[in-house]
Homo-oligomer: A and B are copies of this chain.
Amino acid sequence: MAVKMELVRIIISELGEQQMIYLREVDGTRTFPILIGIFEATSIDRRVKGEVPMRPLTHDLLKNAIEKMGGTVQDVVINNLSEHTYYAVIRIEKDDGEIVELDSRPSDAIALAVHYSPHLPIYVEESVLDEVT
C-alpha cells in the first residue's frame, strides 16, 4: 500500500553536492529525508516559492512534453529503496485511458509534482516507509 506524503522542507546548502528534502505523512507523523542533487533541489525550491520562470526550464519542458503527447500525470510514487537509493515512478494516463509508469529518480518525480498547481500527490510505499522511519 502507498502512503500519501507531502513535501515539508527543502534544505539547500551551497557547500555540498547533495541537498535534502523532507517528506511527511499527510495523515500521520512519519517523516524522512531524501538526498537529491542541487539542480533538482533548485527546481523544486523555486516552484514551491511560486517563482514562475520566463522560459520553460527542464521540468517545465518535461511537463509540457507529457501534456503535448496527450498524457495527464496522475501522481508520483516512491516505490523502492535498495542499497540506500530510492526509486520512483511517475504515473501518466494516456489519452486512450492507459496508465503508463515512467521510472524516475525521486528528485525528478517530486520536481514534476510541484510543477502542478495544486501539487500532484506524492506517495511512498508502506514497505519503504517502514524501512526508513
Copies in the complex: 2
A65 vs B66: C-alpha distance when bound (angstroms): 7
- Which listed residue (B65, B94, B105) contacts A62, Cβ 8 A? B65
Bin chain A's interface residue count: 20 to 34
Task: Kindly report which residue of chain B lies nearest to residue A109, judged by CB atoms.
Answer: B61
Of the listed stretches A20-28, A51-59, A123-131, name the one at the interface; the rest are far from the partner chain: A51-59
Beta-carbon contacts under 8 Å, A85-130 to B: 85, 90, 92, 94, 100, 102-105, 108
Smallest CB–CB gap between A61 and chain B, Å? Answer: 5
Q: Is the interface of A mostly helix, strand, loop or mixed?
A: mixed
> Which of A57, A68, A71, A102 has the most C-beta atoms of chain B within 10 angstroms of its own C-beta?
A68
Given A69-B69, A70-B69, residue A58 in contact with residue B55 (CB < 8 A): no
Task: Kindly report which residue of chain B lies nearest to residue A59, judged by CB atoms.
Answer: B58
Given A64-B103, A102-B64, A103-B64, residue A58 in contact with residue B70 (CB < 8 A): no
